[in-house]
Structure 1
Amino acid sequence: MKVLISVDMEGIAGIVHPAETTPERYDYERGRALMTAAANAVVEGVLEADPAAEVLVADAHGPYRNLLPEHLDRRVRLIRGKPRELGMLAGLQTGVQAAMFVGYHARAGVAGAVLAHTMTDAVLDVRINGASHGEIGINTLLAASFGVPVVLASGDDAACAEFSTLVPQAVTVPVKRGLGQHAADTLHPDEACERLRHGASQAARQPAGHPPLAVPSPLRVEVDLAQPRSADLAGLIPGATVGGRTVAFDAETMTAAYGILQLIVALTQTGP
């Protein structure tokens, strides 16, 4: 079995503030260590269930250069750095049979969720054929477009609930309860890692029992942006239309839609 573990940072136990997730902020190194320990726990669970599994770990937070390579389980291959095809799920196109989301967070605007956002703080909402999705939904659809089921998700309680509405039969591992954007009631990191190991082992034993989510086609994607100038820039993308702060475009596949979403995010981060 080949497994892709996509690791974000905001949904890791103990993490509640951008100072812990942003390079060069005072607590970032601690956040990196907690993120790497959580990734290792999931790897351990997968290999406990299937010692012959091939495991890819995709660093999926911010610059995609957060996990500490020298402290990561040596039995895995690490995918890091950006830009890259398929972004948070890079490696999906290599024959992966199951995906796992670790350290994920709820979509922008979810009340009480820790560090909730969608791809960047500059994006207020993403709708695919009318349904609002955060990174959890977008990435679940992207995985499904490759025929890959997402068999586990972890993060705060809001992130796990968001995932369960899409894939109710999959394993979820809540590691903290959100008390606000920058506050949580969190498990001890060691306890969280133990639950992640157990959840990953359980999920890896039954990947065939989690069929991929159905992917609509064609796709109508609408992105609400915080800044009108970002919408103006995104409107220069061929085929995109702009109405106020909303950029809309059509795509035949999730891969194409995901690529355009990555480009829109990049445009929101350009200077004046």
Structure 2
Amino acid sequence: MKIFVSVDMEGVSGLTDPEEMRAGGRGYERGCELMTGDANAAIRAAFDASAAEVVVADAHGGGRNLRADLIDPRCTLVRGPYKPMRMAEGLDASFDAAVYVGYHARAGTARGVLNHTWMGREIHNVHLNGRIAGEILLMAAYAGTLGVPVALVTGDAAACAEAREVLGDVPAVAVKTGSDRYAAALVPPARAQQMIYEAGRDALSEVANWRTCEVDPPYTLRVEWNATAIAQSCAVIPGVELVGPRTTEFTTDDYTQIVGLLGVCATIAGDVGCTGRHYG
């Protein structure tokens, strides 16, 4: 069995402060350790469920957050910025299942801890084929185009609810429950990581509980940006159409282009519009 683990940071146990997500921010180094702890719980679960290979993608920001010196040595770690498939770098059709650790709810979700979609402040909303989409749908759909089901999602309670909205009765572990965007009732990390391990071991041992996200082509990605300057800059990319003062749209039959375009547009948006706090 071959398992892909994508690890974001906002849904990691113990974290609620935007500073903990940002290199150089207060608590960031400890945040990286907690992120690695949640990842290791999922990795250990995969191997104990008889996985022969586990590939782990650092899916937060620039992809330099998971502690390479603390990660389970049995896995392969994919890290670094500007990965072509960003949060899904390393995933292909050879994998049996995907696991999403530390994921969060889409932008605008009530009580969603650190809720956003792809970027902290530059994006208001994303729609995929007319359906409002967060990172769970975007990444699960990419896995689905490869024929790879999702076996487990971990994050805050709002992220787990979103995962079930997208994937049906998929196994999910809520490690915190938001009272607002930056505040939550936490399951202490040691217990949360044990929960991730136990749920992951059980989920990866029961193929019947895996869920595949199926989105039919052609794929249309609509992004509502927070500024006209970002939308206009992204519309320079061939195939991207400006459909409103700050809204772009792109249609393709190749879902890898959807993921790749999000990465390129995020780079442009960061240069054009990011002048303050990442989640402010």
Alignment partner of 2:33: what SS?
A: helix
Aligned match of 2:220: 220
- Which aligned pairs between 1:107-186 and structure 2 lie closer than 5 A? 107-120=106-119, 121-186=121-186
More displaced 10-residue stretch of structure 1: 208-217 or 262-271: 208-217
Which runs of structure 2 are paired with 1:212-251 in the superposition (5 Å)? 212-242=212-242, 243-251=244-252
In 1: Cα distance, 2:174 partner to 2:98 partner: 17
Structure 2 CA distance for aligned equivalents of residues 211 and 13 of structure 1: 24
Measured against aligned partners, the alpha-carbon deviations of 1:62-93 in whole angstroms (never above 9, x if no partner) come to: 11000000111110000000211211011112
Q: Give % identity.
A: 37
Change (3 A) 1:271 1:223: closer
Following the alignment from structure 1 to structure 2, what is the Cα–Cα distance between the partners of residues 195 and 46?
14
2:263 is paired with a residue whose SS is: helix
Q: Answer with 207-216 or 34-43: which moved more.
A: 207-216
Residue 45 of structure 1: how far off its partner (Å): 0.9
User: Residue in 2 aligned with 1:264?
Assistant: 265
* Higher mean C-alpha deviation, range 75-84 or range 204-213: 204-213
User: Secondary structure of the residue that 1:249 maps to in structure 2?
Assistant: strand
> Structure 1 residue 129: deviation in Å?
1.1
1:30 counterpart = 2:26:
no
Amino acid at match of 1:269: G
Can you give the 5+ residue segments of structure 1 that lack an aligned partner in the other structure? none
- The normalised TM-score by structure 2 is 0.94
Cα offset, 1:35, TM superposition: 0.4
User: Which letter does structure 2 place at the counterpart of 1:69?
Assistant: A
Q: CA RMSD in A?
A: 1.2
**261-270 or 90-99, which deviates more:** 90-99
Distance 1:42 1:209 in 2: 16
CA distance in structure 1 between the partners assigned to 2:255 and 2:132 by the alignment? 15
Provide the TM-score with structure 1 as the length reference: 0.97
Do the aligned residues in 2 keep the contact of 1:10 with 1:115 (CA within 8 Å)?
Answer: yes
The amino acid that maps onto 1:66 is N
Q: d(CA) in 1 for partners of 2:173 and 2:211?
A: 19
How much has 1:209 moved relative to structure 2? 4.4
In the alignment, does 2:70 pair up with 1:71? yes
Q: 1:94 to 1:220 in 2, by over 3 A?
A: closer
Q: 2: distance between equivalents of 1:210 and 1:41?
A: 19
CA–CA distance in structure 2, aligned partners of residues 211 and 19 of structure 1:
34
Contact map agreement 2:129 2:221 (CA 8 A) in 1? yes
Aligned with 1:71: secondary structure?
A: coil
Deviation at 1:48, TM superposition (A): 1.2
Aligned to 2:89: 90
Structure 2 spans left out of the alignment, 5+ residues: 274-280
What one-letter code is carried by the residue in structure 1 that aligns with 2:48?
A: E
Tell me the CA shift for residue 53 of structure 1: 2.1
The superposition leaves residues 74-113 of structure 1 with CA deviations (integer Å, 9 ceiling, x where unpaired) of 1000000021121101111261110000000000011111
What does the per-residue CA deviation read over 1:100-137, in whole Å, with 9 as the maximum and x for residues that have no partner?
A: 00000000011111100001021111101110001011
Give 3-state SS (helix, strand or coil) of 2:109's partner: coil
Structure 1 position 2 matched with structure 2 position 2: yes
Give the match for residue 190 of structure 1.
190
Q: Distance in 2 between matches of 1:224 and 1:204?
A: 36
Where does structure 1 differ by over 4 angstroms across 4 or more consecutive aligned residues?
Answer: none
Tell whether the 8 Å contact from 1:98 to 1:207 is kept in structure 2 after alignment: no
170-179 vs 248-257, greater mean Cα deviation: 248-257
Aligned twin of 1:255: 256
Aligned partner of 2:276 in structure 1 is: none
Amino acid at match of 1:173: V
Q: Contact (CA 8 Å) 2:33, 2:67: kept in 1 or not?
A: yes
CA positional deviation for 1:271: 4.5
Partner of 2:179, secondary structure, is: strand
